[in-house]
A and B are shown apart, each in its own frame.
Chain A
Amino acid sequence: MTVLFAIAIVLAAVSSLGVVLSRQTIYSALSLVLTVGMLAVLFLLLNAQFLFAVQLIIYAGAVMVLFIFIVALLSPDAEDRPTLDLRAVIGILGVVVVTGLVFVAARNGITYNTNGFHAVAVGGASNPYHTFSFPPDAVNNAGNVQTVAGQLFTNYLLPFEITSMLLLVAAIGAVYLTRRSSQ
């Protein structure tokens, strides 16, 4: 398990570097596919089988296929390899700082215990609005999909419906924009 985790982590990190550093656009896009796939593997190792499948179907299977489709159709030329100028240095510094902050937050802010995931405020006092009690065993007994659906269609119904409306609007907008005016 730990070995798989390490492999997935390393591959995800290397492939996300590949997204930025590849000179060929198609290699960037394919690296992104690998990153997405490795994130899916991480979800699987965390017992979130539903998220694993959705990640593969939506991101790797649909979104990225369209990306690559476009890249291959337009076949852009090779880009210059990014040079190490001031902007790059600032960017790398930013990445390091954000990674460090996330690491510290993960160490202190969000703790994991046998009762499930508890988001505890950094000060120590637990915040009642951020307490999730979904221990992996209980989730797997009830079924991954059932647990997600139960939350989605009760506690988070309004955000869910609003998101679906947004997606519908986006789809209609895309269809409208691609239609040539038929005068």
Chain B
Amino acid sequence: MIGPDDLWWVLLIKCGVLVVFLLTAFAYLTLAERKISARIQLRYGPNRVGPFGMLQPAADGLKLFFKENVAPAQRDKVLYLVGPSLAGGAALLAYAVIPWGTNNWFGHEFHWDIAHVNVGLLFILGITSLGVYSLFLGGFASNSKYSLLGGLRSSAQLISYEMAVSFALIGVVILSGSLDLEKIVGSQQGLWFIVLQPLAFILYFTAAFAETNRLPFDLPEAETELIAGYHTEYSAMRFGLYFLGEYINMVTVCSIATALFLGGWLPLLPFHPFDWIPGPIWFLGKVGVLLFVMIWVRWTLPRLRYDRLMNFGWKVLLPLGLINIVITGAVVALRA
């Protein structure tokens, strides 16, 4: 039977909707970041462009597009352009397999994701592990001290915290018995995995800050030490692409956390009136809450020193992740 997922124009519409959604999310995340940071610091934040500053992202976008591209003369011409393109591309690509829900329309099953991969979780880990190249190449190709240091830091940091991320996710995989994101969400019917795996959730969310280079783990672009780290020498829309990659990565890690720990598109309680709200709305709502926490943390905590960051990753997050795997595995094996 040919379902709507097999039609090429349905796929095309899905891709279009997703790209528009991600770009809008990026634009308004920057506004949210500025507004929330302003409230935390007892300021108003942007409030001149449009009502409540709602058109500020459009103004920022126009500015980025029309600014002059200033580039260092001694740069590596090819790699200098590959860096930002990879940053934007990898961030968009990773979102292709994240499911927002399923619907049954006219007897056809409709999936709210672009590609249904039965190793969806591994796919996301694979694509995000490519994201490190964008940061590193940008830093390397700029031919500047600060950029290179930022790039080196980013690759060391991302490799270290990738381990912590994967180890935190294994507990969920053991419980649900699948790497398929839709099945993982489905197996949380009734009880979200954050209840069964609180440690894994904390580990994942902590490591996610490092994966997205957010404070308190934003060592690759620490302003006080490295000016702007790997994107010091980028301007205009090339800088904009790095910016875009960072914010879309935030959406991605929050979406993964939602799908794996917060029950994805499942309602808060499995009865009326909660299940009148459609699944994708629940999903986006939960993602929104997590995004708010990420912004909140950024404007609350100070930055870690570089060696402490490494120690924290390897000597705290990683052993805790291992302990979590052993305990989860033992409990599942004993109950079976």
Residues on A lying within 8 angstroms of B by beta carbon are 26, 30, 33, 37, 40, 49-50, 52-57, 60-62, 65-66, 68-69, 72-73, 140, 143-145
Contacts and interface: CB of A to CB of B under 8 A. Distances in A.
Contact of B179 (A57, A65, A145): A145
Given A49-B117, A72-B136, A56 B159 contact: no
Contact of A56 (B79, B129, B179): B129
Contact of B122 (A54, A60, A73): A54
A26 B76 CA distance: 11
For the complex, would chain A's binding face be called helix, strand, loop or mixed by DSSP majority? helix
Nearest to B139: A72
A145 B120 CA distance: 11
Contact of B133 (A33, A66, A140): A33
Contacts of A72: 136, 140, 148, 151-152
For the complex, would chain B's binding face be called helix, strand, loop or mixed by DSSP majority? helix
B126 A53 contact: yes
A50 B119 CA distance: 6
B9 to A, nearest CB: 19
Contacts of B180: 143
15 contacts: A26-B79, A26-B140, A49-B117, A50-B119, A52-B123, A52-B126, A53-B122, A57-B126, A61-B126, A61-B162, A65-B132, A68-B136, A69-B156, A72-B140, A143-B180
Given A49-B122, A68-B133, 20 more contacts: A37-B130, A49-B117, A49-B118, A49-B123, A52-B126, A54-B122, A56-B126, A57-B126, A57-B129, A60-B126, A60-B130, A61-B132, A61-B162, A62-B129, A65-B132, A66-B159, A69-B136, A143-B178, A145-B122, A145-B179
A62 B132 CA distance: 10
A98 B180 CA distance: 40
Given A56-B130, A57-B125, A57-B126, A65 B136 contact: yes
A79 B127 CA distance: 32
B136 A53 contact: no
Given A56-B129, A60-B129, A68 B119 contact: no
Nearest to A33: B133
B155 interface: yes
Nearest to B137: A30
Contacts of B158: 65
Contacts of B152: 69, 72-73
Contacts of A144: 118-119
A62 B119 contact: no
